[in-house]
Amino acid sequence: DIQMTQSPSTLSASVGDRVTITCRASQSISTFLAWYQLKPGKAPKLLIYQASNLETGVPSRFSGSGSGTDFTLTISSLQPDDFASYYCQQYKSYSYKFGQGTKLEIK
Amino acid sequence: EVHLVQSGGVVVHPGGSLRLSCEASGITFEDSALHWVRQAPGKGLEWVSLITWDGGRAFYADSVQGRFTISRDNRKDSLYLQMNNLRPEDSALYYCAKPPQSSSWPLEYWGQGTLVTVSP
Contacts of B61 in chain A (CB under 8 A): 95
Looking at residue A30, its pLDDT comes to 97
Per-residue model confidence as pLDDT tens digits over B107-120:
999 999 999 999 99
Q: Work out the minimum CA distance from B100 to partner chain A, whole angstroms.
A: 11
pLDDT band at residue B27 under the 50/70/90 scheme: confident
Distance (Å, whole) CA A98 – CA A36: 10
Q: Contact A89/B47, CB-based, under 8 Å? A: yes
Contacts of B108 in chain A (CB under 8 A): 46, 55
Distance (Å, whole) CA B68 – CA B70: 7
Which amino acid, one-letter code, is at A21?
A: I
Q: What are the strands, taking DSSP E only, across chain A?
A: 4-7, 10-13, 19-25, 33-38, 45-49, 53-54, 62-67, 70-75, 85-90, 102-106
Per-residue model confidence as pLDDT tens digits over B79-98:
999 999 999 999 999 999 99
Could you tell me which of A45, A84, A92 has the C-alpha nearest to residue A67?
A92
Looking at residue B29, its pLDDT comes to 83
Q: Contact B47/A49, CB-based, under 8 Å? A: no
The whole-number average pLDDT for the span A39-52 is 96
DSSP 8-class letter at A43: -
Residue B34 near residue B50, CB atoms below 8 Å: yes
Whether the per-residue pLDDT at B28 is higher than 90: the answer is no
Looking at residue A90, its pLDDT comes to 97
The whole-number average pLDDT for the span B63-79 is 96
Could you tell me which of A21, A17, A78, A44 has the C-alpha nearest to residue B46?
A44
- When mean pLDDT is compared across A72-86, B25-39, B85-99, the lowest value belongs to B25-39
Q: Is B90 helix (H, G, I), strand (E, B) or coil?
A: helix
Q: Which residue of B has its CA nearest to A102?
A: B44
Q: Contact A34/B113, CB-based, under 8 Å? A: no
Looking at residue A2, its pLDDT comes to 95
Looking at residue B43, its pLDDT comes to 95
The whole-number average pLDDT for the span A41-68 is 97
Of A45 and B26, the one with more pLDDT: A45
What are the b/e assignments for A81-96, b being 16+ CB within 10 Å? Answer: ebbbbbbbbbbeeeeb
